[in-house]
Amino acid sequence: QQTIVVGVTGGIGAYKACELVRDLMRRGFRVKVVMTEAATRFVTPLTFRTLTGEPVATSLWADEPESKVHHISLAAEADVVVLAPCTANVIAKLAHGRADDMLTTTVLAAEAPVIVAPAMNTHMWRKDITVANVSALRARGFAFIEPGKGALACGDVGEGRLADPATIADAVEAE
């Protein structure tokens, strides 16, 4: 059974990651979730633990007796890593090789393909530095699923919405 590591970052689109996880599991994948601290403000680790039946990784400093170095073991287990939603902050960290939390250390240790599903405000998505960071990650082999267009949580309208969870699951399955 293939293992998909789903990385969830801190944005309102985090609630859609629950639907993504369920869809991936329906497709026969084993799913493990890694969350940033900010993501836990939107959806609790308990939600993902209940959906997957797997422990949820949230901290480099958690006592994880079943794993010698948890971010390394998660990275090694991953057949595909998908970041959904992925904030501008995490895109920037990865583009510059920063690894200061459980999610970024796991991604940087992974040899599996990484799929990024960004979600952020339209202005943030279009900002030159974000465009450059996305380009840098694409050049390094990261795959991107373009964000959707429509009404955003902040009231703006434009691109930046997390892509439909089924579209993300299709990309994972294709990988």
* Cα–Cα distance for residue pair 11/126, rounded to 1 Å: 17
- From 69, 129, 154, 157, active-site residue: 154
Q: Where are the beta strands (DSSP E) in the chain?
A: 3-8, 30-35, 80-86, 114-118, 143-144, 148-151, 157-161
Are 90 and 14 a contacting pair, CB within 8 Å? Answer: no
**By CB neighbour count within 10 A (0-12 exposed, 13-18 middle, 19+ buried), where does 79 fall?**
middle
DSSP 41: G
154 as an active site residue: the answer is yes
Catalytic residues: 154
